[in-house]
Amino acid sequence: MTDPKAPTGLRAGLATYGDAEFSLFLRRAFIKAMGYTDDALDRPIIGITNTFSDFNPCHGNVPELIVAAKRGVLLAGGMPMEFPTISIAESFSHPTSMFLRNLMALDTEEMIRAQPMDAVVLIAGCDKTLPAQLMGAASANIPTIVLPTGPMLVGHHQGEVLGACTDCRRLWGKFRAGEIDEAEIDILSGRLAPTKGTCMVMGTASTVACMVEALGMCLPGAASIPATHADRIRAAEASGAAAVRLAASGRKPSDIMTKAAFRNALTVLQAIGGSTNALIHFTAVAGRLGIKIDLDEFDRLGLEVPVLVDLKPSGDHYMEHFHWAGGMPVLLREIASHLDVSTLSVTGGTLADAIAGAETVRGQTVIRTAANPIAVGGGLAVLHGNLAPSGALIKRSAASETLMHHQGRAVVFDGLEDMANRLDSAELDVTADDVLVLRNAGPIGAPGMPEAGYIPIPRKLARQGVKDMVRISDARMSGTAFGTIVLHIAPESAAGGPLGLVRNGDLIKLDVTARRIDLLVSDAELADRRVAWVKPAPHPGSDRGYLRLYVEQVTQADSGCDFAFCVPASLDQS
């Protein structure tokens, strides 16, 4: 809870001039240039982040949401103050949005801390933006409510329902295989993302929004309302009003995002067959609060909790269908026996209260019952083995059952450029039974751990009709992708991990049941190879600026890829 003696409103966080009363006088004098009255300025101040950007269509509705959130703040007796922070869009971030997530987290944290606000409404939605905001808010630790921007509506083409970006990848694969032509792929580029909002499959953005709701950091139902619906605007107004109440209560992120709340969020991650990326992001958010996410406990949750949500890429439907099936409150009700429903929410109530408000939607088939699951045995599985001493991840629910136990020859790509140059070559020595290996694509190696783990099927195999192969890397993959893909191998090869020791033709064994990924090479041979291993050359430009900070400080996937200096020295491992 907030210290009741701490200064509030305009008096909080004064600029340093050596005279606090002068600092307040100056602040008041300057802000009056905006036309505010003393009455307005004496009310609780609610900061509202503005992450609108012409480069970020996933945040295209942010201006309308801000207007509605401000209305909610005013109706509840507060004073809304909008302020900008960085915005990150997936396809407009070079080299990768993940490289910039920690920069946005630093920006959000410091802007919350630097400016006077009694609570803050965080509005975002694209993959890295909500995680970055939560990381920043966890560290700033003032009363905070999240308002996701919400998912897009589905697209349509030739009688087929389309969703970004699972269908972007599927249709691009068809184009590569010569099954659709240039004219059709051009038409499709206008139909895959038909409205503002976040990707409407259970990709990273939707996964994170659902987990935020399970954490208790947004209003019940707020994860899934489509971005363009009137209900989304009403949720914004309600979030603004809730922020005023939250400011009065003094309830901070550390009171809500407890170890039990993270466990609830990770349980939801398994039950929705969600994005692999979410595990990295929530490890980072928890780390900011001194909480260690135990990968093996997460794996055990997967064995207990069935996948119940029938959404692409694991299933058939899209976020708007999930919403009309009752959304998160209905899912939480279905998995309540796996949850700690006493955890607190930004509403002032508990998770049990959110579940009590769940609608019963007759005939819906999108959120299954535990008796009729989409899959059992875990949406995501954590692997160990001599290739991944600190762990790796596979999205079982989006992988091929026939490849869950597989042994094959390694076909190694030394980085993204090498893969781009050779993957589609007619000379590439590759068969459908081989294991494609991509390295130097991790947090330091790439840099920024791009979503390159979804290694395309080599063109000559794609043209023979091969749809899936075992693919392994130290990269991430989009939450919208599918396939038998082992990701987040830690430590990464550029940090000296054993992935860097694999050679073409080595045998690799994947055994998902045993949770193992192993290189079938003797320890003695690996020791020799380690002596001969040469660390990759530094990235151009890494001697200065943000790139230098990033490569010096970024942690590995199992630690959330946060900056080491942002995490408390000791984490609660209990």
Chain contacts with ligand FES (rule: CB under 6 A): 58, 89-90, 126-127, 198-199, 203, 205
CA gap 256, 263 in Å, rounded:
12
CA gap 285, 215 in Å, rounded:
11
Chain centroid to CA 191: how far? 24
Are the beta carbons of 485 and 399 closer than 8 angstroms? yes
Angle at alpha carbon of residue 385, lines to 381 and 388, rounded to 5°? 80
By C-beta, is 127 or 334 nearer to ligand FES? 127
By C-beta, is 206 or 267 nearer to ligand FES? 206
Nearest to 128 by CA among 292, 278, 274: 278
Backbone phi, psi, residue 469, to 5°: -145, 160
In the complex, the smallest distance separating the C-beta of residue 165 from ligand FES, rounded to whole angstroms, is 6
By C-beta, is 203 or 443 nearer to ligand FES? 203
Q: Where are the alpha helices (DSSP H) in 49-199?
A: 62-75, 97-114, 129-140, 166-176, 182-188
In the complex, the smallest distance separating the C-beta of residue 183 from ligand FES, rounded to whole angstroms, is 25
In the complex, the smallest distance separating the C-beta of residue 478 from ligand FES, rounded to whole angstroms, is 8
By C-beta, is 151 or 408 nearer to ligand FES? 151
In the complex, the smallest distance separating the C-beta of residue 87 from ligand FES, rounded to whole angstroms, is 11
In the complex, the smallest distance separating the C-beta of residue 167 from ligand FES, rounded to whole angstroms, is 12
Are the beta carbons of 508 and 403 closer than 8 angstroms? no
In the complex, the smallest distance separating the C-beta of residue 481 from ligand FES, rounded to whole angstroms, is 12
By C-beta, is 89 or 481 nearer to ligand FES? 89
By C-beta, is 318 or 563 nearer to ligand FES? 318
By C-beta, is 102 or 207 nearer to ligand FES? 207
In the complex, the smallest distance separating the C-beta of residue 152 from ligand FES, rounded to whole angstroms, is 8
Burial class (CB in 10 A: 0-12, 13-18, 19+), 160: exposed
**C-alpha dihedral sign at 183, 189, 194, 199:** positive
In the complex, the smallest distance separating the C-beta of residue 208 from ligand FES, rounded to whole angstroms, is 9
In the complex, the smallest distance separating the C-beta of residue 480 from ligand FES, rounded to whole angstroms, is 7
Angle at alpha carbon of residue 398, lines to 437 and 450, rounded to 5°? 45
By C-beta, is 200 or 305 nearer to ligand FES? 200
By C-beta, is 313 or 498 nearer to ligand FES? 313
In the complex, the smallest distance separating the C-beta of residue 53 from ligand FES, rounded to whole angstroms, is 12
CA gap 285, 24 in Å, rounded:
33
**C-alpha dihedral sign at 136, 1, 249, 27:** negative
CA gap 474, 445 in Å, rounded:
9
- Tokens matching residue 195: 């409205």
By C-beta, is 149 or 343 nearer to ligand FES? 149
**C-alpha dihedral sign at 527, 414, 428, 481:** positive
Amino acid identity for residue 356 in this structure = A
Are the beta carbons of 76 and 43 closer than 8 angstroms? no
- Tokens matching residue 469: 């192969």
Are the beta carbons of 375 and 396 closer than 8 angstroms? yes
By C-beta, is 475 or 517 nearer to ligand FES? 475
In the complex, the smallest distance separating the C-beta of residue 304 from ligand FES, rounded to whole angstroms, is 29
Helix (H) or strand (E) holding 508: strand 507-511
Burial class (CB in 10 A: 0-12, 13-18, 19+), 372: exposed
By C-beta, is 78 or 148 nearer to ligand FES? 148
Nearest to 338 by CA among 301, 294, 366: 301
By C-beta, is 269 or 437 nearer to ligand FES? 269
Chain centroid to CA 58: how far? 14
In the complex, the smallest distance separating the C-beta of residue 90 from ligand FES, rounded to whole angstroms, is 4
Burial class (CB in 10 A: 0-12, 13-18, 19+), 3: exposed
- Tokens matching residue 508: 């690799």
By C-beta, is 98 or 126 nearer to ligand FES? 126
In the complex, the smallest distance separating the C-beta of residue 273 from ligand FES, rounded to whole angstroms, is 17
Amino acid identity for residue 58 in this structure = C
In the complex, the smallest distance separating the C-beta of residue 196 from ligand FES, rounded to whole angstroms, is 10
Chain centroid to CA 452: how far? 16
Beta pairing class for 516-519 and 507-511: antiparallel
